[in-house]
C-alpha cells in the first residue's frame, strides 16, 4: 500500500455529452498517465439499453462501477490514471472510493442542458441517446468537492484549467469560525486549493461548511464536507490539515478523531492559541506515529486571518518546509516585501512565541488603557483631546493598538461615547497568564505582563470594587498634578512600551536558552512588524537592535540606552504623580519598579537572603567570596 500512496485517480465525471472523453484523454496525455474510458466498461446490455433510450437503473450500474473499481485497483502507473465515469450520484462515487485505498480527484464537468443537447445533436458516434439527457440531469448530484469546470470552452482550455487546479498546493481546514474562514479565503486568494470541514452539532453548528462554500461561490470554490472521514479521504496524501478550533481539550478531541484515519507523513497544523506544553506533548505523541505536527501561532485577529496575519510555526523543520509556501503566501509582508512568517524552532516554540506575543499585547493594552484613564479623569482632557494626543503620539510610535484606541475614542452610539457603555470588566482567554506561569518556570521577571493580567483580574471584581469604592473615597484627585506633566506623558509611554517589550523578549530568550530552541529574536521581531496585534515602529526598530546585540537584554542595548535615559524621568514623574493623585497605573508602576530593580547594582535581596537563612537555614552567597558557594549563620547563637 505504501508505494500506492502517490497514485492519484482522476475521475472525469458529469452527464453524457458534457465532454468527458476528450477532456480526460487530453488530461492523461498532459499528465503522462494512462487513460481509461469508463463507458467502455459497460456491459453489452447496458449499451443496448442506452442506445434505446432506456435509463440505466442502480442495479444496471452496479457491475459497471465494480468493473471500473477493479480497473482502478489494477492501475500500474506509479502516478495513477485518468478515468471517465459519469458518477452522477454521490452513492456511485462513494462506492468507487470504498473499493480502493487510492486517493481520488474528481473532475466535474458541467454545462447547460441546452448546450449539451445541441452538441449531441450535431455529434456522431456516441451511443448515447439524446432523449436520455433529461434522465441524466434528474439523476445528477453535483459533488460538493473536486475540480468544477464548465465546458463552454475548448477542450484544451478546459484541460489547462484542470491542470492549474491540480498543481495548486492543497490543504484541508477543520473549523470554520471567523479565523478559519478568513484563512480559507486568504489561501484561496493565494492560489491554494482549500477543502473545508466543520463539525455538525444540531441546533448549534449546522451546515457551516456548506454555507461557507455557498456564500463564496461567486468568486471562490471550496470543496466542503460535513463528514470528517470523507473530508480526510478526499485530501491527497501526504495530507496537510489545518486545525482552527478552540485551544484546549477541543484540539485533543479533534486529533483523536482524525488520528485513526491518518497515515504516516500526514501533517496537522494547529493554528489556534494552544498552550505550548500541550503542543509539545502532541508533537511527541504524533511523532511516534510518524505524523507531523506544527504548533503555529497566528496573530492579527479576524482581519489578519483574511488579509495577512503574522505566522509563527514551530515543530519539525521538515514539516514547515512542506507548507512554507502556503503559509508564507498568506502572511502579511514586512517593509521589504518578505513574509511575516518564519520557521520559529523545535517543539512548542511557535506557540510559546505566540503566547509571549500575547503577553506583550496585554502589557501594551493596559498601558494605553491606564494612560487614557489618567488623561481623562485626572488631567481632565476631553475625549477629543485624548484622541488627538494619541494620534499625535502615533505619528512616531505607529502602534496598531494605539491606532485602534483612537478609533475607539471616536465611536459614539446614539450620541454617547460607546466606551462609556462598555463594562469595565476585562475578559481573557489565558495566554497572558500562561506567560506568567512560564516566567515562573524560567525564573524571569515578567513585571509588566503579569501586572497587566492582574489588572484584568481585578477589573473582573466589579462587585467588590463597587463596594470598596463606597468605603474608600477614591473619586477626587488627591494630589495636584503639576502642569508640566503633559510634556512628560509621551516619554513615559514610550519607555514603558520599551520595558514591556524588553520583558517579553527576555522571556523568549531565557526559554530558548533553556530548551535549546535557538530562537532568533531579530527574526521574531521582523515577523511581528506587520500583520500582528503588536506591530509598531518600536517593533520595526527591534529587528536591527537584536541583530546588533542578539543575546542580551534589550535594556542593555547600546542604541536604546540613550532613549531610555531621556525618558526615565518622564516615566517616574508620570507614574508617581498619577498614583499620588489616586490614579491606578499598574503597568507604568510595574515598569518603573522593574527598571529601578534591573538597573540597581545593589538591591534589597541581601535582606531577603538573611531572613531566609535566619528562619529556614536556607544559606546565602557572600559578597566577599566567589559566587556559587553557600554559607550559613546561626543567627540566634551568634548573637
Ligand atoms: C492576536 C490576538 C488573538 C486574540 C487573543 C485575545 O494576536 O491576534 O492576540 O490571539 O485576540 O487571544 O486574548 P484575550 O482574550 O486573552 O485578550
pLDDT at 637 over 90: no
101 and 185 share one domain: no
Least Cα distance to 307 among 340, 285, 354, 335 occurs for 340
Q: Identify the band that residue 477 occupies on the pLDDT scale cut at 50, 70 and 90.
A: low
Question: Ligand 1: does its nearest atom lie under 6 Å from the Cβ of 41?
Answer: no
| Closest protein CA for atom 14 of ligand 1 | 428
Question: Ligand 1: does its nearest atom lie under 6 Å from the Cβ of 299?
Answer: yes
Instruction: Tell me the mean pLDDT in the region 160-171.
Output: 96
The pLDDT value given to residue 366:
98
Least Cα distance to 344 among 396, 284, 295 occurs for 295
* Radius of gyration over every alpha carbon of the chain, rounded to an integer in angstroms: 32
pLDDT at 638 over 80: no
User: How many domains in the chain?
Assistant: 4
CATH number at residue 507: 1.10.1040.10
The pLDDT value given to residue 133:
85
Instruction: Compute the mean pLDDT over every residue in the chain, rounded to the nearest whole number.
Output: 94
Domain boundary among 130, 149, 167: 167
For 398-444, what is each residue's pLDDT tens digit? 999 999 999 999 999 999 999 999 999 999 999 999 999 999 999 99
Q: Which atom of ligand 1 is nearest to the CA of 300?
A: 8
Question: Ligand 1: does its nearest atom lie under 6 Å from the Cβ of 274?
Answer: no
pLDDT at 130 over 90: no
438 and 324 share one domain: no
306 and 366 share one domain: no
pLDDT at 332 over 70: yes
Instruction: Tell me the mean pLDDT in the region 523-541.
Output: 98
pLDDT at 494 over 90: yes
Instruction: Tell me the mean pLDDT in the region 30-37.
Output: 96
306 and 417 share one domain: no
- Ligand 1 centroid to Cα of residue 300, in Å, is 8
- Ligand 1 centroid to Cα of residue 488, in Å, is 30
Q: Identify the band that residue 461 occupies on the pLDDT scale cut at 50, 70 and 90.
A: very high
543 and 448 share one domain: yes
Which range has the worst mean pLDDT, 26-30, 100-104, 158-162?
100-104
Q: Identify the band that residue 265 occupies on the pLDDT scale cut at 50, 70 and 90.
A: very high
Q: Identify the band that residue 154 occupies on the pLDDT scale cut at 50, 70 and 90.
A: very high
| Closest protein CA for atom 1 of ligand 1 | 299
Q: Identify the band that residue 135 occupies on the pLDDT scale cut at 50, 70 and 90.
A: confident
Question: Ligand 1: does its nearest atom lie under 6 Å from the Cβ of 504?
Answer: no
- Ligand 1 centroid to Cα of residue 397, in Å, is 21
- Please check whether residue 521 is in contact with residue 546, taking contact to mean a CB–CB distance below 8 angstroms: yes
CATH number at residue 614: 1.20.5.320
241 forms bridges with which residues in the sheet?
172, 268
Domain boundary among 299, 329, 347: 347
315 and 425 share one domain: no
CA-angle at 562, arms to 558 and 567, nearest 5°: 135
Question: Ligand 1: does its nearest atom lie under 6 Å from the Cβ of 364?
Answer: no
pLDDT at 447 over 70: yes
419 and 561 share one domain: yes
The pLDDT value given to residue 124:
53
Which range has the worst mean pLDDT, 44-58, 332-346, 514-528, 624-638?
44-58
The pLDDT value given to residue 557:
93
Q: Identify the band that residue 293 occupies on the pLDDT scale cut at 50, 70 and 90.
A: very high
- Ligand 1 centroid to Cα of residue 11, in Å, is 44
pLDDT at 281 over 70: yes
Domain boundary among 147, 167, 187: 167
Q: Identify the band that residue 478 occupies on the pLDDT scale cut at 50, 70 and 90.
A: confident
Question: Ligand 1: does its nearest atom lie under 6 Å from the Cβ of 358?
Answer: yes
| Closest protein CA for atom 17 of ligand 1 | 428
Question: Ligand 1: does its nearest atom lie under 6 Å from the Cβ of 361?
Answer: yes
Q: Give CA–CA dist 141/599, Å, rounded.
A: 72
Q: Identify the band that residue 583 occupies on the pLDDT scale cut at 50, 70 and 90.
A: very high
- Ligand 1 centroid to Cα of residue 297, in Å, is 11
- Ligand 1 centroid to Cα of residue 294, in Å, is 19
The pLDDT value given to residue 592:
98
Q: CA distances (Å), 439 to each of 356, 444, 519, 581, in order?
A: 10, 5, 17, 32
Q: Which atom of ligand 1 is nearest to the CA of 301?
A: 8
The pLDDT value given to residue 639:
56
- The rounded percent of the chain whose pLDDT value lies above 70 is 97
Active-site residue set: 354, 361
Question: Ligand 1: does its nearest atom lie under 6 Å from the Cβ of 86?
Answer: no
- Ligand 1 centroid to Cα of residue 329, in Å, is 23
258 and 369 share one domain: no
Ligand 1 probe mutation, 179, 247, 273, most atoms within 8 A of CB: 273
163 and 112 share one domain: yes
- Ligand 1 centroid to Cα of residue 629, in Å, is 45
Cell 486545525 belongs to: 243
Q: Identify the band that residue 167 occupies on the pLDDT scale cut at 50, 70 and 90.
A: very high
Ligand 1 probe mutation, 183, 351, 358, most atoms within 8 A of CB: 358
451 and 552 share one domain: yes
| Closest protein CA for atom 4 of ligand 1 | 301
The pLDDT value given to residue 2:
58
The pLDDT value given to residue 543:
97
Instruction: Tell me the mean pLDDT in the region 272-301.
Output: 97
81 and 197 share one domain: no
Q: CA distances (Å), 588 to each of 90, 363, 520, 568, in order?
A: 63, 10, 28, 11
Q: Residue 314 sits in which domain range?
A: 170-347
pLDDT at 123 over 80: no
Question: Ligand 1: does its nearest atom lie under 6 Å from the Cβ of 530?
Answer: no
The pLDDT value given to residue 56:
83
- Please check whether residue 596 is in contact with residue 555, taking contact to mean a CB–CB distance below 8 angstroms: no
Can you give the pTM of this predicted structure?
0.94
Pairing of strands 147-150, 103-110: parallel
CATH number at residue 250: 3.40.50.720
For 193, phi then psi, to 5°, come to -90, 115
211 and 110 share one domain: no
Ligand 1 probe mutation, 182, 305, 308, 361, most atoms within 8 A of CB: 361
Grid cell listed for 207: 451546515
Amino acid at each position: 500500500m505504501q508505494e500506492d500512496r502517490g497514485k492519484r485517480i482522476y475521475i472525469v465525471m458529469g452527464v453524457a455529452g458534457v465532454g468527458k472523453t476528450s477532456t480526460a484523454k487530453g488530461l492523461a496525455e498532459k499528465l503522462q498517465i494512462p487513460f481509461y474510458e469508463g463507458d467502455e466498461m459497460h456491459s453489452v446490455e447496458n449499451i443496448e439499453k442506452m442506445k434505446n433510450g432506456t435509463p440505466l437503473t442502480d442495479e444496471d450500474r452496479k457491475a459497471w462501477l465494480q468493473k471500473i473499481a477493479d480497473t482502478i485497483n489494477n492501475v500500474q502507473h506509479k502516478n495513477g490514471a485518468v478515468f471517465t465515469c459519469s458518477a452522477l450520484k454521490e452513492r456511485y462515487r462513494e462506492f468507487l472510493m470504498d473499493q480502493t485505498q487510492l486517493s481520488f480527484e474528481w473532475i466535474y464537468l458541467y454545462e447547460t442542458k441546452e448546450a449539451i443537447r445541441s452538441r449531441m445533436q450535431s455529434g456522431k458516434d456516441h451511443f448515447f441517446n439524446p432523449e436520455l439527457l433529461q434522465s441524466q440531469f434528474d439523476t445528477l448530484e453535483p459533488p460538493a468537492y473536486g475540480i468544477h469546470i464548465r465546458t463552454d470552452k475548448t477542450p484544451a482550455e478546459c484541460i489547462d484549467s484542470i491542470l492549474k487546479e491540480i498543481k495548486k498546493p492543497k490543504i484541508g481546514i477543520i473549523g470554520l469560525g471567523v479565523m478559519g474562514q478568513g484563512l480559507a479565503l486568504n489561501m484561496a486568494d493565494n492560489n491554494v486549493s482549500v477543502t473545508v470541514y466543520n463539525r455538525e452539532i444540531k441546533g448549534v453548528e449546522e451546515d457551516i461548511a456548506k454555507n461557507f462554500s455557498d456564500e463564496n461561490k461567486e468568486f471562490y470554490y471550496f470543496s466542503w464536507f460535513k463528514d470528517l472521514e470523507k473530508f480526510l479521504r478526499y485530501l491527497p496524501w501526504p495530507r496537510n490539515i489545518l486545525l482552527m478550533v478552540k485551544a484546549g481539550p477541543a484540539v485533543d478531541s479533534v486529533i483523536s478523531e482524525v488520528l485513526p484515519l491518518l497515515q504516516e507523513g500526514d501533517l496537522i497544523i494547529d493554528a489556534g492559541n494552544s498552550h505550548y506544553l500541550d503542543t509539545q506533548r502532541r508533537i511527541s505523541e504524533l511523532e511516534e506515529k510518524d505524523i507531523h505536527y506544527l504548533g503555529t501561532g497566528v496573530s492579527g485577529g479576524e482581519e489578519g486571518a483574511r488579509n495577512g496575519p503574522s505566522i509563527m510555526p514551530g515543530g519539525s523543520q521538515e514539516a514547515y518546509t512542506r507548507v512554507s509556501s502556503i503559509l508564507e503566501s498568506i502572511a502579511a509582508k514586512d517593509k521589504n516585501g518578505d513574509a511575516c512568517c518564519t520557521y520559529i524552532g523545535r517543539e512548542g516554540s511557535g506557540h510559546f512565541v505566540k503566547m509571549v506575543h500575547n503577553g506583550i499585547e496585554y502589557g501594551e493594552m493596559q498601558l494605553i488603557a491606564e494612560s487614557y484613564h489618567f488623561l481623562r479623569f485626572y488631567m481632565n482632557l476631553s475625549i477629543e483631546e485624548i484622541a488627538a494626543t494619541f494620534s499625535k503620539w502615533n505619528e512616531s510610535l505607529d502602534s496598531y493598538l494605539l491606532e485602534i484606541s483612537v478609533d475607539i475614542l471616536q465611536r459614539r452610539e446614539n450620541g454617547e461615547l460607546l466606551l462609556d457603555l462598555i463594562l469595565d470588566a476585562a475578559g481573557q482567554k489565558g495566554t497572558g497568564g500562561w506567560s506568567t506561569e512560564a516566567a515562573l518556570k524560567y525564573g524571569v521577571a515578567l513585571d509588566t505582563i503579569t501586572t497587566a493580567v492582574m489588572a484584568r483580574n481585578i477589573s473582573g471584581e466589579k462587585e467588590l470594587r463597587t463596594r470598596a469604592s463606597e468605603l474608600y473615597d477614591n473619586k477626587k484627585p488627591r494630589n495636584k498634578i503639576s502642569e508640566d506633566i503633559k510634556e512628560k506623558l509621551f516619554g513615559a509611554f514610550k519607555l514603558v512600551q520599551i520595558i514591556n517589550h524588553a520583558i517579553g523578549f527576555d522571556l523568549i530568550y531565557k526559554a530558548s536558552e533553556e530548551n535549546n530552541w535557538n530562537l532568533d529574536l531579530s527574526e521574531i521581531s521582523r515577523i511581528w512588524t506587520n500583520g500582528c496585534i503588536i506591530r509598531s515602529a518600536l517593533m520595526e526598530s527591534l529587528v536591527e537592535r537584536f541583530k546588533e546585540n542578539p543575546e542580551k537584554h534589550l535594556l542593555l542595548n547600546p542604541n536604546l540606552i540613550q532613549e531610555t535615559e531621556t525618558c526615565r524621568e518622564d516615566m517616574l514623574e508620570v507614574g508617581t504623580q498619577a498614583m499620588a493623585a489616586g490614579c491606578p497605573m499598574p503597568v507604568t508602576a510595574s515598569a518603573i519598579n522593574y527598571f529601578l530593580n534591573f538597573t540597581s547594582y545593589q538591591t534589597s535581596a541581601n535582606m531577603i537572603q538573611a531572613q531566609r537563612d535566619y528562619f529556614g537555614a536556607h544559606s546565602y552567597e557572600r559578597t566577599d567570596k566567589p559566587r556559587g558557594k553557600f554559607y550559613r549563620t546561626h543567627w540566634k547563637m551568634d548573637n
